[in-house]
Structure 1
Amino acid sequence: MNRRTFLTAGTVAAGLAGVSMTSGLPASARTRDRRFVRSLDELRRALATAVPSTVITVADGHYAVPAGAPIAITGMRGAPGRPITVQAETPGGVVLTGEQSFVLTGSSDITLSGFAFRQSTTLELPPDCRRIRLTRNDFQLADIAGLHWVMVRADHSSVDHNAFHGKTTLGIYLGIEGAGTDGMASGVRVYRNHFSDHSFPGSNGGESIRLGVSPRALSTAGAIVEFNLFERADGDPEAISVKSSGNVVRHNTIRDSIGGIVLRHGNANRVEGNYLLSGSNGIRIYGDRHLVVNNYLERIGGSGIVLGSGNVRDHFPGESPASRRGNDAPDGVQIALNTVLDCGTAISGESHRTLPPLGCAITDNLLMGDNGQLVNLPFQEGIAWSGNLHWGTATDGNAPAGTFKRADPKLVAGPDGIRRLTTGSPAINAATRSYRDVDTDLDGDRRTGRADVGADEFSRRRPCLRPLTPSDVGPHAS
């Protein structure tokens, strides 16, 4: 069966005809200095005189950008809250072909909205730019092996409400890096995007999002990756690959995909409230001081959560490139309040590297399955266990005796298919630890008093958060 879906410019435009291109833009950008252009030359002239709050609308059509003559945005300065906006007449109605499209240099507060990018080189947001926004665009660049589609190196940029789809070769959809060889862009936000149908058959190099690379592992990026949907993200075992520090990955949905969430390099990342459903890989962890909390994993073919092992104890400034590429053994990682259902193994580790986890905690998780074993951790000495709830005909594995309770959690699936606690569940108010830095649960409900075990805090209210669907993300979402 052909699992790929390819959107033409016509279908994108037709499907998004009701979306206002100025929705979500500041009021100042909706009311001042509006210009309408019908050619690339007119666009270049409009850009030459644009000021903060200028909105340039490009007439729908196909535009072949000449080789060596991209649409240059050089030294242009919008202002915070008053960007210079360049937008398509209708979402997806302006198709940009050729080697390049927009080339940004030394610019700030620029918004590019509603374009269908079909170019044959990477769209770059370079480190000499700031506050660049890519919104409501459709990305299906040339399907060239090794071509990365979008690379963000500009501080405080955002990538939101875009569609990335239809790549069959080596290369990533979206990369976030920074200046030089070891820096990371600061404060990048990636939200409400739809990543789908990457079918590169290799074992590495086809991530949907790559947040850093190994030389940048110790750089604190402070990125937020939230409310994105991944479907058929099959280009790599890592749909979201984190290779930097101090990031938040929350409220994303990964469905029917080979790829999972992997903390491959870096420290002090937070993985919270994500749904991983009917895929091959769950959450895999290396590095130090991560918090993995409130995640819901169901029907993952492999392990739901993998606490890795290392061939290096810690990464450090000035280490050799070979060492930096090594797996950093987890230290001080907390895996808490997650729900893991019907996976190959609920929580597992690795034995093919010699350095074990140290100072880690696996607490107050709800683990359930009917096949295999729930826990398989080859290294036990560096892990503190408490409060986990087990159920199903799967064996307990090597979870230490006395650190878990075996009882029916009384889960019932809601209209969204997610299984939640019901009245009388032994998970209610059963957490063995306090979690002062975990205010809400998977659904957005407040965690009050003693927390409930697993990702769900029992409530009779309708959940305000749920797994994402295509209508929640991409260029057409409200």
Structure 2
Amino acid sequence: MDRRRFLSGATLGAALITVPWVTAGTASAKPQGLCALNVSSLTELQTAINRAAPGAVITVENGTYAVPSGKPITVKGRRGTKDQPITIIAQSRGGVTFTGEQSFVFDDSTGVTLSGFEFRQSTTLEIPANCSRIRLTRNDFQLADLPDLDWVMVRADYSKVDRNHFHHKTTIGVMLCIEGADDDKMATGVHVVRNYFSDHSFAGDNGGEPIRLGVSPRALSTASATVEYNLFERANGDPEAISVKSSGNFIRHNTIRNSRGGIVLRHGNKSVVEANFILDGKDGIRIYGNDHKIVNNYIAGLSSRALVVGSGTVRDHFPGESKESRRKNDAADRVLIAHNTLLNNGGTLSGETNRTIEPRDCTISDNIFVGDNEDLVSMSTTGNFTWSGNILWGSGGNGNIPAGTFRRVDPKLVQGTDGISRLAAGSPAIDSATLSTAPVTLDIDGQARGSLRDVGADEYSTAAIANRPLTTADVGPGAP
């Protein structure tokens, strides 16, 4: 091992090394000045971090590092940039394991990337609100399987959590939490992309989510988070695989397979749930709050309800309400549900009877509902709903969908090699969408909708399919 060290300005460095599986900045960016340093002990690692400048790449030699109690690896006052982050990386992906009570502790830092590590610590890895642009990429998270231990907490604006594997938790606790400063704010612009969440097997009724995006006191805070291209398998720790408790988020292009949990807009307003595949599990999408868009989703083979428009114990949440009131369910108002395909589920489109405040002013248009179980539409009390252009098929009853707002006709769905059923030539769904303003320009496959849109999540097209259900090859530490 080359142990030569030298100083360049205030920066500590060594011979330039090549790390082929991580990009320090943008694809074209070149770190300025001193850029690469190998370390083989926690002491060397801490010294390198303390002296790191923008563009520095600190490579930790492979091995298991037991972090002493009370002496975490501290990242304090570091200032990487968007294009020239400070990168702390394992010599080989998965070759470095951190054990002990803590690993990294962040404070007042920006533009820092952690890449390629296996985290096995016994306390939460926290990215606090006085940081920003912290990136966790290509890591493996299997923290101590302790009750009530949330594994990763992100409170820092514009942080990115990508291409990680979170797996094998049997106790109550969340794998990835996103919150913010104080008691009521959310971090802004967090990006969660191409992660693999698997094997959360907590058997309780609440508290075992893979992702929790906010909590009830933060419901009205606009997070503008994007959760996309993540794969969930055997996510059985909670009915909510993605639990949204904040406002203004984008949940898109995720695949949830063989899981108890679904996507739940539990608190908050103005989120978009678009082009997700929910397959062969239990629960689908459940909605509370106002002004959401639920478009282009494909939900098939679930044992329970595919899509639930929630009733409330309060009409709306509002600033200054009591903590007790904020925890209650907010009835779904002004929600757009369009261009979804719900196929062969235990229940199709449902309301709720266990809460008394009805959803209002929702639009349910241009969807395909196919099933043989129970009624295809089973709404409870609603107020001023708009229905149009829906297609119903199967031996399930029509239920209480208003007459004249649907057709009972075979949509001619044909299953492809990826298990997804799409429109065949001659389908009555083709060019028959009714909404005057297009809520989507692409379909779930990433194909152009055109001026005459088709009913359901799929647009009949001979163009190449850009988005299919995700597999393990698409996500996690080895993802493209």
> What's the TM-score once normalised by structure 2's chain length?
0.94
Give 1:196-235 correspondences, 5 Å limit.
196-235=198-237
Q: 2:22: which partner in 1?
A: 22
Does the CA-based 8 Å contact 2:143-2:151 persist in structure 1? Answer: yes
Distance 2:132 2:400 in 1: 50
Shift in Å, 1:354: 0.7
Residue among 45, 48, 58 paired with 1:43: 45
Q: 2:310: which partner in 1?
A: 308
Shift in Å, 1:394: 1.1
Distance 1:395 1:437 in 2: 28
Distance 1:182 1:342 in 2: 40
Give 1:181-330 correspondences, 5 Å limit.
181-330=183-332
Q: 2:115: which partner in 1?
A: 113
Q: 1:436: which partner in 2?
A: 438
Residue among 33, 36, 42 paired with 1:34: 36
Q: 2:57: which partner in 1?
A: 55
Residue among 358, 361, 365 paired with 1:359: 361
Q: 2:14: which partner in 1?
A: none
Shift in Å, 1:28: 3.6
Distance 2:107 2:50 in 1: 14
Q: Secondary structure at 2:37's aligned position in 1?
A: strand
Shift in Å, 1:462: 2.8
Which sections of structure 1, spanning at least 5 residues, go unmatched? 1-18
Does the CA-based 8 Å contact 1:21-1:114 persist in structure 2? Answer: no
Q: 2:93: which partner in 1?
A: 91
Q: Secondary structure at 2:364's aligned position in 1?
A: strand
Which string of whole-angstrom CA distances, capped at 9 and with x for unpartnered residues, describes residues 370-411 of structure 1? 222211001143311111001111111111111110111111
Q: Secondary structure at 1:42's aligned position in 2?
A: helix
Shift in Å, 1:450: 2.1
Q: 2:418: which partner in 1?
A: 416
Residue among 130, 133, 152 paired with 1:131: 133
Moved more, 137-146 or 458-467: 458-467
Moved more, 391-400 or 269-278: 391-400
Residue among 77, 81, 84 paired with 2:83: 81
Q: Secondary structure at 1:261's aligned position in 2?
A: strand
Q: Please say if 1:385 is aligned against 2:368.
A: no
Distance 1:457 1:419, change over 3 A: same
Moved more, 378-387 or 304-313: 378-387
Which string of whole-angstrom CA distances, capped at 9 and with x for unpartnered residues, describes residues 303-324 of structure 1? 1100000010000000000100
Counterpart residue identity of residue 434, structure 1? S
Distance 2:141 2:418 in 1: 29
Which string of whole-angstrom CA distances, capped at 9 and with x for unpartnered residues, describes residues 10-57 of structure 1? xxxxxxxxx933247434466851101111111111112110000000
Distance 1:50 1:29, change over 3 A: farther
Which string of whole-angstrom CA distances, capped at 9 and with x for unpartnered residues, describes residues 291-342 of structure 1? 0000000011111100000010000000000100000011100111000000
What value does the CA root-mean-square deviation take over the aligned residues? 1.2
Q: Secondary structure at 2:217's aligned position in 1?
A: helix
Which string of whole-angstrom CA distances, capped at 9 and with x for unpartnered residues, describes residues 195-237 of structure 1? 0000000000000000000000000000000000000000000
Counterpart residue identity of residue 345, structure 1? G
Distance 1:224 1:356 in 2: 29
Counterpart residue identity of residue 251, structure 1? H
Distance 2:55 2:397 in 1: 62
Counterpart residue identity of residue 40, structure 1? L
Q: 1:15: which partner in 2?
A: none
> What's the TM-score once normalised by structure 1's chain length?
0.95
Residue among 457, 469, 472 paired with 2:471: 469
Does the CA-based 8 Å contact 1:64-1:98 persist in structure 2? Answer: yes
Residue among 451, 454, 461 paired with 2:453: 451
Q: 2:153: which partner in 1?
A: 151
Q: 2:429: which partner in 1?
A: 427
Q: 2:334: which partner in 1?
A: 332
Counterpart residue identity of residue 98, structure 1? G
Which sections of structure 2, spanning at least 5 residues, go unmatched? 1-18
Counterpart residue identity of residue 63, structure 2? G
Does the CA-based 8 Å contact 1:299-1:343 persist in structure 2? Answer: yes
Counterpart residue identity of residue 79, structure 1? T
Distance 1:158 1:350, change over 3 A: same
Shift in Å, 1:437: 4.1
Counterpart residue identity of residue 215, structure 2? V
Q: Secondary structure at 1:429's aligned position in 2?
A: coil
Q: 1:4: which partner in 2?
A: none
Runs of 4 or more above 4 Å deviation: 29-32
Q: 1:8: which partner in 2?
A: none
Which string of whole-angstrom CA distances, capped at 9 and with x for unpartnered residues, describes residues 164-208 of structure 1? 001000000000000000000000000000000000000000000
Which string of whole-angstrom CA distances, capped at 9 and with x for unpartnered residues, describes residues 341-369 of structure 1? 00112100001111001110111100101
Distance 1:47 1:402 in 2: 67
